[in-house]
Amino acid sequence: MKNKVIIGTIFLGTVLMAGGVNITKDLESIVIKEDNKDIKIERIQDTKHRLTSSFTKTSRECPPFCIQPMNIGKVKTIGEIELLRYIQDMQKEDSDMLLIDARTRDWYRGGTIPSAINLPFTMLKKDSKYLKKILKLLGAKEVDGKWNFDRVPTMIIFSNGIWDEQATKEIKSLVSLGCPEDKILYYRGGMQNWHILGLTVK
């Protein structure tokens, strides 16, 4: 009888500890549609998983890989939970938001956050030949040589992480062109934090 109680206790303890790796206590995952396919955003379930990519590096030459500020002007900085909520909201038909990966194409092709579009920071430089086209695609209108951003969606902008200035440069470019700071959200953690938390990459 004593042995049965001990075995039962061990079994119960194992069941209680065998839960999944949730995003939060109350959120297991989210499912979004992209290109008419369901994509499940969740954390890697293997608790022994370790990073093996370039995101394992802790130190990079500065410049150019300098630690970025928490705040860029009055642009609001967000974390992963907020970003996941916005990604869910973006699935609604009346959504007026864009998730923008500000990294160059080679980085983007190596994996990004589901639902993100690639708008490299280089395309928004004042001397970029793509600048006017990109701004018009975003919904901005040129009036008397100045850009009006009233019809531009709220943009969530990220790059590789807190050591990467690509998102910072894109945000500063948009603000210098006249984009209101409240039209921009900054996911400072970027791809490094996304990978560290074991979240789905597309």
**Residue 177 is assigned to a structural domain of this protein:** yes
Sheet containing strand 97-101, edge to edge, reads: 76-78, 184-187, 154-158, 97-101, 117-118
**Residue 40 is assigned to a structural domain of this protein:** no
Tokens, residue 134: 């990109």
Q: Please count the structural domains in the chain.
A: 1
Q: Are 125 and 176 in contact (CB under 8 A)?
A: no
36-91 per-position pLDDT tens digit: 999 999 999 999 999 988 899 999 999 999 999 999 999 999 999 999 999 999 99
**Residue 83 is assigned to a structural domain of this protein:** yes
What's the confidence (pLDDT) of residue 19?
A: 59
**Residue 68 is assigned to a structural domain of this protein:** yes
**Residue 11 is assigned to a structural domain of this protein:** no
156-166 per-position pLDDT tens digit: 999 999 999 99
What's the confidence (pLDDT) of residue 110?
A: 96
93-129 per-position pLDDT tens digit: 999 999 999 999 999 999 999 999 999 999 999 999 9
Q: Residue 177 is part of a domain; what is its CATH number?
A: 3.40.250.10
Neighbours of 182 (CB within 10 A): 10
Nearest Cα to 192, choosing from 34, 54, 67? 54
Tokens 């992480």, residue located: 161
What's the confidence (pLDDT) of residue 179?
A: 98
**Residue 96 is assigned to a structural domain of this protein:** yes
CB-based contacts of 124, cutoff 8 Å, min separation 6: 131, 134, 170, 173, 174, 177
Q: Are 75 and 185 in contact (CB under 8 A)?
A: yes
Residue 32 has pLDDT above 60, yes or no: yes
143-154 per-position pLDDT tens digit: 999 999 999 999
What's the confidence (pLDDT) of residue 18?
A: 47
**Residue 174 is assigned to a structural domain of this protein:** yes
State which residues form the domain around 56.
45-196
**Residue 189 is assigned to a structural domain of this protein:** yes
- As a whole number, the mean pLDDT across the chain is 91
35-44 per-position pLDDT tens digit: 999 999 999 9
What's the confidence (pLDDT) of residue 9?
A: 41
Nearest Cα to 168, choosing from 59, 101, 72? 72
Residue 3 has pLDDT above 60, yes or no: no
170-188 per-position pLDDT tens digit: 999 999 999 999 999 999 9
